[in-house]
Amino acid sequence: MARRTTTKPAHGGATPAVTLLTRLGVPFTEHHYDHDPDAESFGREAAEKLGVDPAVVLKTLVVDLSPGGGRGLGVAILPVDHRLDLKAAGAGLGVKKVALADHAAAERSSGYVAGGISPLGQRTVLPTVLDESTLAHETVYVSGGRRGFDVAIAPADLVSILSARTAPITR
């Protein structure tokens, strides 16, 4: 049975990410915080406000596969304190390299607003690669589908739900 707890009261109903986790019965916890719209890094802000190591807070980047010979979009998930290696992410997604997708394409594909894109419950299911370093942690935090809202989940559950590949994708 899914475990839902909050560090603050929920803000405005379930997101597609929460709906998916609940439907699948995957254990997770909800963590809300007051988002500062002037924050330079949404992920670092989450780590700071949640009081957790940035290595366990993950950012979800929608990437364009076409620079590496692929078609469409993909998803790269990595710790907020690292940078995406475009060639390594490409290799993890089966192409030579990737480029970051523009915000409008990322929002259209995912159904979420930039800065709140969750890897879970996206409108379009995309090929996904998760940085292998995340597997060393018992729990990781990903966007719950809006700014100021993360869900904590076991990385193995994230891999399973998303049918994600794991690879070293950071530099």
Structure tokens at 133: 């370093």
pLDDT at 13: 67
Of 83, 55, 25, which is closest to residue 140 (Cα–Cα)? 55
**CA–CA distance from 137 to each of 56, 93, 131, 140 (Å)?**
7, 23, 12, 7
pLDDT at 131: 98
pLDDT at 88: 97
Domains and CATH numbers, the chain: 16-167 (3.90.960.10)
pLDDT at 64: 97
pLDDT at 40: 84
Per DSSP bridges, beta strands 99-100 and 58-64 are antiparallel
The model's pTM: 0.91
Of 53, 40, 58, 55, which is closest to residue 151 (Cα–Cα)? 58
pLDDT at 2: 42
E strand residue ranges, 12-159: 29-32, 58-64, 73-79, 99-100, 128-131, 140-146, 149-153
pLDDT at 55: 96
Per-residue pLDDT of the chain (171 residues; tens, 9 = 90+): 344 444 333 445 699 999 999 999 999 999 999 998 888 888 899 999 999 999 999 999 999 999 888 899 999 999 999 999 999 999 999 999 999 999 999 999 999 999 899 999 999 999 999 999 999 999 999 999 999 999 999 999 999 999 999 999 999
